[in-house]
A and B are shown apart, each in its own frame.
Chain A
Amino acid sequence: MLKRLLPVMVFLALCVLLFAGLRMADDKDLIPSPLINKPAPAYNLPRLDADGMLGHADMLGQAYLLNVWASWCPGCRVEHEQITRIADSGVLPVIGLNYKDAEADAQRWLNHFGNPYSAIIVDLNGKTGIDFGVYGAPETFLIDADGVVRYKQVGILDQRTWETEMLPLIQSLPDQRQPQPAL
């Protein structure tokens, strides 16, 4: 009897496995970043909002968000309000990474929607984007005071993700050292 049932049971087990796989496939668009808990890639890029450069080394000593955006990115427009709220809250500075954008378009976008960023750096050819494993704007990285990537949000960062995922993580980070006078 048991022997007869064995193939059926194997079949049912397979069904459960494959069905679970299908259900989990809903998240397949989210590619886990290998950068989590690793040092953020080094960058040194020209600023959009001011003269000069801003680099990875300048930001050491304080946790910050690196928000990848572009004027051509509809999701960034949606996310803008939330980014502004975070920046206004003063929890940590938000650095904008203007990704593969035309300068004039980026400026117009900022004039129209407002500039929430403490600083904006320009990745014109997308090289820094590649180093960060960016595959679609908007993306937001939480980088701690030691320059280590702690969290990556692919797609629009909403209030819920901010409150339930990122904020607790930021608060759990070891004491931030004195914020640099630069920002």
Chain B
Amino acid sequence: MSSSVRLLLAWSLLLLLLQLAPSPALAIDVIEFQNTAEEQRFRELTAELRCLVCQNQSLDDSSAPLAQDLRNEVLELMRAGRSNEGIREYLVARYGDFVLYRPRFTVATLLLWLGPIVLLLGGLILVFRSLRRMQTSTTNQPSKTDPNP
């Protein structure tokens, strides 16, 4: 193996390793967490809060200036001893339910939460009913001998 090839290989390996290195959240602002528990809680909270500028990103992974401000706000509130619910409350009071990725269970979101369950149950009932009908029709009047198809 020539030395140039070896050099190339070494470089590609280095680049590959750099890529694989665990990168923190995409957003580039350095937060000094007091401990891992705090970081964990912070990540969980901000992952469920929507960035208002880039609406399909969470606060956790948005690098918009407003998202940065709101992350700082969340951290401050955490350190001021607010509960997770209290922090969500704080943001909802300012930005509305929109900031929550997980909608609250209210009258307005009833259909949203229960709709899928209702649909699933409805579908299951339909399946069972048609299954039973098929069963009774095959046992009572086998189709090949059915005089009136």
Contact = CB atoms under 8 A, between A and B. Distances in A.
A118 interface: no
Secondary structure dominating the interface of B:
helix
A25 B95 CA distance: 18
Interface string B10-29: 00000000000000000000
Interface in B90-106: 92-98
Contact of B96 (A28, A33, A126): A33
A31 B52 contact: yes
Given A31-B95, A34-B92, A130-B70, A100 B65 contact: yes
Secondary structure dominating the interface of A:
loop
Given A28-B55, A135-B52, A135-B53, A34 B66 contact: no
Contacts of B69: 125-126, 129-130
B73 interface: yes
A105 interface: no
Given A135-B53, A136-B53, A32 B73 contact: no
A131 interface: yes
Interface of B: 52-53, 55, 65-66, 69-70, 73, 92-98
